[in-house]
Amino acid sequence: MRTLLDLSFRDPLLNLALDEAILGAVARGESPPTLRVWRNPRCVIVGRGQRIEDEADLAACRRLRIPVLGRASGGGTVYHHPGNLNFSLFLPLVRPWASVRESSDRISGLLAGEIEKRLEVEADTRDGAVFVRKAKVSGSAQLRRRALLHHGTILFARDTITMEEVLLAHHPGYSPQGTPSRPAVVGDLTSLTERVVTIEDAIRTVLDAFRPLGCAGWDTISLREWALADVLSSVSAQEG
């Protein structure tokens, strides 16, 4: 499996486009199955089938200079920030990856197992999410386009801006017209384990969790993937 360590803080729109571009390359056989480990600056990411105005407090986001973007995968709205690490798996549509339930259970189970091993704390899984002490530390979503994109988060530290300040799902009276987000009690690994969990710890957790999926070979995003991502992000910016 190709492994991409892609930690630059860049335009979140380009980061989302890179996920779509790599998915297309894997689907066409131009790139091998891939694990991408990456970060976003502060932003709100709204799932496919949701309305931005239903999910994000747009006035608060403008005041805090937090962009609000839509993504191609389903699921609920998430808040990305520097205390969050993202991972994206790009896999062929064969068992267990062809099944939404099997793939989600397998991937979240691998991550939960590594969190338990590395941080010596019990971790549970439910609906593609990982919970520590009943607090959600990782969520995920999927997109299928002749290959599987499973992308998720791992919260290793808290942010000075809370998700309650920017996400409407945590506000009274939340009643979206589109697919609803499912708010849960959320925690970060540093607070929940009472030890400092660094970005390096989070990266090693993700890399070791998914090592059973194949030998990790370090690589870089291809020029073709960059070019397609640039086109996709430009189109999204014009549509937005």
pTM of the model: 0.95
What percent of the chain lies above the pLDDT cut of 90? 93
Return the DSSP state at 142: E
3-class SS of residue 223:
helix
pLDDT computed for residue 235 by the predictor = 86
For the chain, the average pLDDT equals 96
Sign of the Cα torsion 102, 107, 49, 187 reads: positive
pLDDT tens figures, 25-50: 999 999 999 999 999 999 999 999 99
The phi, psi pair for 182, rounded to 5°, reads -115, 85
- Side-chain-side CA neighbours of 122 within 13 Å: the count stands at 3
What integer is the mean pLDDT of 140-147? 97
Rounded to whole angstroms, the Cα distance separating 164 from 72 reads 24
pLDDT computed for residue 216 by the predictor = 67
pLDDT tens figures, 40-85: 999 999 999 999 999 999 999 999 999 999 999 999 999 999 999 9
List domains and CATH numbers for the chain.
2-239 (3.30.930.10)
For the CA atoms of 153, 6, 37, 220, the dihedral, rounded to the nearest 10 degrees, stands at: 150
